[in-house]
Structure 1
Amino acid sequence: MSYLNTELLSTLLNNESVDEIFRQELESVTNELLTTELTAFLNYEKYSVEGYNPGNSRNGYYERTIHSRLWKLEY
């Protein structure tokens, strides 16, 4: 949410729809939440030494798409 106010104001001044801004922010927050949840579940930070060969590690990820009534979110 670094420049949300600036982007929102600019969009409103140009009489454009704010839907894309809200979609991007929701996508960003969802990704951050999932990353934080993974860290809490595994009980160690990303790139931490505790994560080397514990049997339950961060073995990469693949992209997913969430379809909602309003938007399609990528994470």
Structure 2
Amino acid sequence: MKSITEKPNNGQVNFDDMINDLIKNFIEKMLKGELTEFLNYDKYDSAGKNSGNSRNGNYSRNLQTKYGVIEN
């Protein structure tokens, strides 16, 4: 993952890349929080063990925005 502080060779920050990184971080945190709220227990919490309502992993997705594709 590129950091928003990384600069291309010409020394300028690419605005679209910076926005993509901010959007990606926001969406990831929002979805993790929503999952925690829905399941009613934190990640790695023993309350979810054998509950039948578990965190069963994840998979990569891409999101198309007006600033370009946000890749996972």
- TM-score normalised by the chain length of structure 1: 0.74
1:30 is matched with which residue?
27
Q: Distance in 2 between matches of 1:17 and 1:60?
A: 32
1:59 aligns with 2:56: yes
Q: Which runs of 5+ in 1 are unaligned?
A: none
Instruction: Compare relative contact order (CA 8 Å, sep 6+) and give the higher one, 1 or 2.
Output: 2
Identity %: 33
Give me the CA root mean square deviation: 2.3
1:41 aligns with 2:38: yes
The size of the alignment, in residue pairs, is 68
Q: Which has the higher helix share?
A: 1
- TM-score normalised by the chain length of structure 2: 0.76
Q: Which runs of 5+ in 2 are unaligned?
A: none
Relative to 1, partners in 2 of residues 1:22 and 1:50: Cα closer, same or farther, differing over 3 Å?
A: same
